[in-house]
Structure 1
Amino acid sequence: MKVLWLFAHPDQRSLSGALKTEGLRTLDAQGHQHRVSDLYAMKWNPVVDAADYGHDPADRLLVGAASERAYARGRLSPDIDAEQQKLTWADTLIVQFPLWWYGMPAILKGWFDRVFVKGFAFGLTDPATGRPRRYGDGRLTGKRAMVITTAGARAATLGPRGVNGDLNDLLFPLQHGTLWYTGISVVPPLLIPVYQRV
């Protein structure tokens, strides 16, 4: 198995950091290959802008069209290209982050915004039907992903009848709207509840 471990937590000494370290150690012990994108350690830029696509800032930036042209011409910024190469290499994506305000940290959302560009992750047409390839039939079909998230709540409060809502509902935009939309099969998430009494 070839795993890209996408990690978004600012503190390596955190529980999240320890979980990542142990996960990578386990992959090594089982003979799997892995690459890591530690977004905070990389000082990943989460902001989409004209420089990502070699686009003239004097012209109006239509992100979908500009990103598709830059991808097709091999002119994406080097940091985006490097992440796409990692994802292309991998057959499995682990997306690990703390659940903040019922979603992923902004740096991780920015990774998807910049890396999953039109032409690479979506926007392909089935030549036989002329219809867009999406929802299980995108360019990233054949890959799988799992979300690992920590949450400052008891597990029961993130269940179907919990006050915080169901975890699968909270992760729906990522698991369904981003990952499965682009063809990636999503396995059930792993929730690590981190509840502390003060």
Structure 2
Amino acid sequence: MRSLIVISHPDTHSLTHAVADRIAAAIQATDPAHEIEIADLAAEGFDPRYSAADLAQFRGQAGPPADVSSEQARIDRADALILVYPVYWWSMPGQLKGWIDRVFTNGWAYDERPDGSVAKLLQRLRVHLVGVGAADIGVYERHGYAAAMRTQIDHGVFGYCGAPVLTSEFLVPTGAPYPSSALEQARDIGGSIAGARHATALGIGRR
């Protein structure tokens, strides 16, 4: 099994990076054979700007730019996609949104057909979303931020491509000490990801 962890945060000492590291460690502790690839968008300098070349690809006038093809190949190698990011203005950071805008292209992530129907091309991919926030969960729920983010991201992006979202969590301050509680949640998320994939590979739970 192989997971691709995509991180969007410029500070390698941030809680976001610590959460991603804890998820990765828990996956490998649960299933040592599970391969992990890390995509650190900030460190790698991924350009999130949707360019004329991206538009030409969308219109079917050209193939995808080289950096987009490279990111698609990373995802194609993975069984699971794990996005770990800080919550900025009740959404994901601009660099991660630009990554989705550019990488999840027509003809690769989905296919808009002449009859108006849409083929969902990423049904094999399992998605795990981990947002790291500063406001407590009550704020997310009272103002509808959690539901709005899940509508935009879980349904609007991955539902459109057919990729099932198996984890959708906000790691935020709770009654427990923070950020240690977030790291504990990250460990549990990683263990669940590896445990489910490992059980599937072994045929456990199949009827």
Please indicate, yes or no, whether the TM-score normalized by the shorter chain is above 0.5: yes
One-letter identity of the residue aligned with 1:33 = E
Q: Which has the higher helix share?
A: 2
User: How much does 1:101 deviate?
Assistant: 0.5
What percent identity do the matched residue pairs reach? 27
> Quick one: which of 20, 40, 43 aligns to 1:41?
43
Contact 1:124-1:139 at 8 Å conserved across structures: no
> Quick one: which of 117, 121, 135 aligns to 1:153?
135
User: How much does 1:169 deviate?
Assistant: 2.3
SS in 2 for 1:149: strand
SS in 2 for 1:189: strand
User: How much does 1:151 deviate?
Assistant: 1.1
User: What is residue 165 of structure 1 aligned with on the other side?
Assistant: 144
Aligned residues: 173
In structure 1, the gaps of 5 or more residues are: 54-60
CA distances 1:113-151 after superposition (whole Å, capped 9, x unpaired): 11111111122549xxx66234xxx11112111110111
Using structure 2 for the length normalisation, give the TM-score.
0.75
User: How much does 1:16 deviate?
Assistant: 0.9
Q: How does 1:127-142 map to 2 (within 5 A)?
A: 132-134=117-119, 138-142=120-124
Using structure 1 for the length normalisation, give the TM-score.
0.79
What RMSD in Å do the two structures reach over aligned CA positions? 2.2
Contact 2:130-2:167 at 8 Å conserved across structures: no
* Residues 1:106 and 1:12: Cα distance change in structure 2 (over 3 Å): same
Contact 2:2-2:35 at 8 Å conserved across structures: yes
> Quick one: which of 52, 55, 70 aligns to 2:62?
70
One-letter identity of the residue aligned with 1:40 = A
Query: Which 4+ runs in 1 deviate beyond 3 A?
Result: none
Cα distance in 1, alignment partners of residues 137 and 90 from structure 2: 14
> Quick one: which of 74, 84, 92 aligns to 2:72?
84
